[in-house]
Amino acid sequence: MKAEKIRNLTDDELNHQQRDLADQLFKLKFQMNMGQTESLKKIRGLRRDIARVQTVLREQELAAVKTEAHTTETRKAETSKAPAGKAQSKTKISKAEKR
């Protein structure tokens, strides 16, 4: 399976794909241990496909966290701009009050 095709899937589809691939891998390993098949290429390909799916899931997770952090920083910056002016005036008053 190509990485571009995997990147176009949603999170639910990726999780479903990962479960399907893991199930296929289990069945192939079981057949290999029973002596019914010698398909090492298929096993290797399935392991790589699982890794691709997991990589894309992680990329999407990190992208979501990054955008969430960016929006949080933007909100903090917007809210801290207005009170910052008030905070400075309070500190000047408090210095005057101390004298």
Distances (CA, A) of 43 to 14, 27, 28, 63: 19, 10, 7, 30
Rounded CA separation 52/33 (Å): 25
Match 């960016």 to its residue by tokens: 70
pLDDT in tens, 7-18: 999 999 999 999
Q: Tell me which CATH code domain 3-98 carries.
A: 1.10.287.310
Extract the tokens encoding 92. Answer: 């000047």
pLDDT in tens, 39-91: 889 999 999 999 999 999 999 999 988 888 888 778 877 777 755 555 555 55
Domain-wise residue ranges, the chain: 3-98
